[in-house]
Amino acid sequence: MPTLPLPYDPAALATAHGTPLWIYDAAVIEQRISEVASFDTVRYAQKANSSLAVLALMRQHGVKVDAVTAGELHRAQQVGYTLGSDDVVFTADVLDDDALEWIARHRIPVNVGSPDMIAQLAAAGIDVPITLRINPGFGHGHSQKVNTGGESSKHGIWHDQIPACLASAKTHGLTVRGLHMHIGSGADFKHLSEVAGAMVTAAQTFAQHADTLRVVSAGGGLPIPYHADQPQRIDLDRYFKVWDDARQTIAGITGHDVELEVEPGRYLVAESGSLLTRVRSVKQSGSKHYVIIDAGFNDLVRPSFYGAHHHITVHGPDGQDLGAGSTCDTQDAIVAGPLCESCDVFTQEEDGTVVTRALPRATAGDLLVLHDAGAYGMAMSSNYNSRRIAAEVMLKDGQAHLIRERQSFESLTQFERVPAALHADTVKA
Ligand SMILES: Cc1ncc(COP(=O)(O)O)c(C=O)c1O
């Protein structure tokens, strides 16, 4: 894939903020938001990237938000979303104590992912509008780790339980105002039309039992081209048309307008983000050449978790792209991180097989950029090996704003306690 020039100077940002460093280009997020504007509601699945500055940008552009935990509700509130309005919907398969407390306190609409949740809301005295997340009985996805439908998926309410859920909601005095499916057909339009067809069938069943259906949500799952050899971007006009046709059919069934929502995470943020890292070591092990960087799967877990592919560029210490130009000196390399885990490798397949990538020849001190890392990157990072959560920068209006400081060592242990009995330096005989 011809690499576009980075929208930033990697050397300058590495010097200013250190590495590893997350960098997001706000202009890319703004562009993606504008591309899905045909839907009545764009609801950002903040699990993809819940950094406050990203949420604030979404809010500025009229994007609503979903939250899957009380923590995500807290984040939405922090950037000014109004809890208790349609701006923020809670979507989950279970309700934990924190979630129940927040939903009760702020009267947050809930997208219910299991029948038990209806009775549990009622038992907690919570009277909020609900939607039903339906598992249509089939899924999609290259691996079970990302499949969100069918019998082997834990998500959603099985499609034949819609009448029972409507009856339960009625008994408990809750209004069901919508149906939701998140199956993630991506750019597979044949599959997508099956999902939309399943939504129409679900709406027919709904309409036989209640007249409160006002909104259908297509969920998320819009893909982005991570791979060089991937077909072009998803045809969003076609994607919208499949769902709009379904919406119109459903409006015909219900006899009134029905709103159409979409709930993307990855599509809005993935391509805006990159992870800037420093090459710390290059070494040869038998026939294999390793490039070891200062980011690990505690920073970006997608390659270790699902064998996800991220485009990689290598830059000299001055920031120059070593792959630019026609006379680039390449080498087949395995790119790995610093963690004490064999799977801490950025070039691997879904089954964990380590593979090489033809990259410009790197030396210690160079910079290495993992591209398209704005979704499920920082949001999935951890403190494994007691590594600090990396800093984040957002490029906006020609400036690089620090939006998250690198975590301090103090905060790594902030909430831990050592019992008094362990304070003595030695064990008594
Ligand atoms: C209910 C729901 N909606 C939306 C999304 C966002 O998916 P994506 O980032 O693929 O668009 C997810 C992702 O897991 C989800 O579970």
**pLDDT tens column, 131-147:** 999 999 888 765 666 67
Residue 107 sits in a domain whose CATH number is 3.20.20.10
pLDDT 10s digits, 250-261? 999 999 999 999
Q: Which of 267, 300, 221 is closest to 34 using CA atoms? A: 267
Does 243 share its domain with 387? Answer: no
Q: How much distance in Å is there from the Cα of 305 to the middle of ligand 1?
A: 17
138 class by beta-carbon count within 10 Å (0-12 exposed, 13-18 middle, 19+ buried): middle
Give a yes or no: residue 62 inside a domain.
yes
User: Is the pLDDT reported for residue 157 higher than 50?
Assistant: yes
Mark which of 201, 230, 263 sits at the end of a domain: 263
The whole domain housing 49 covers 37-263
Does 246 share its domain with 276? Answer: no
pLDDT 10s digits, 311-357? 999 999 999 999 987 778 999 999 999 999 999 999 999 999 999 99
Q: Which residues pair with 179 in a beta bridge?
A: 132, 216
Give a yes or no: residue 161 inside a domain.
yes
> What contacts 210, CB < 8 A, 6 or more positions away?
166, 170, 176
Does 241 share its domain with 120? Answer: yes
Does 257 share its domain with 347? Answer: no
Question: Does residue 343 carry a catalytic annotation?
Answer: no
Percent of residues, the chain, with pLDDT higher than 70: 97
Does 248 share its domain with 132? Answer: yes
Q: How much distance in Å is there from the Cα of 379 to the middle of ligand 1?
A: 13
Residue 386 sits in a domain whose CATH number is 2.40.37.10
> What contacts 191, CB < 8 A, 6 or more positions away?
140, 183, 185
Give a yes or no: residue 328 inside a domain.
yes
Chain mean position to CA 314: 26
Query: What average pLDDT does the structure give for the chain?
Result: 95
264 lines ligand 1 (CB under 6 A): yes
* Residue located via tokens 């077909």: 231
Does 43 share its domain with 183? Answer: yes
Does 78 share its domain with 123? Answer: yes
Q: Give the per-residue pLDDT at 143.
A: 62
Give a yes or no: residue 9 inside a domain.
no
CA distances from 244 to 33, 107, 209 (A): 18, 30, 23
Does 131 share its domain with 275? Answer: no
Does 41 share its domain with 137? Answer: yes
Give a yes or no: residue 249 inside a domain.
yes
Mark which of 220, 244, 263 sits at the end of a domain: 263
Does 108 share its domain with 49? Answer: yes
Does 116 share its domain with 232? Answer: yes
Mutational pocket test of ligand 1: of 182, 183, 192, 239, the residue with most ligand atoms within 8 Å of the beta carbon: 182
Number of structural domains in the chain: 2
* Catalytic residue (one of 165, 328, 340, 343): 340
For residues 254 and 204, is the Cβ–Cβ distance under 8 A? Answer: no
Does 395 share its domain with 248? Answer: no
Strand residue runs (E) in 207-295: 215-217, 259-262, 273-285, 288-293
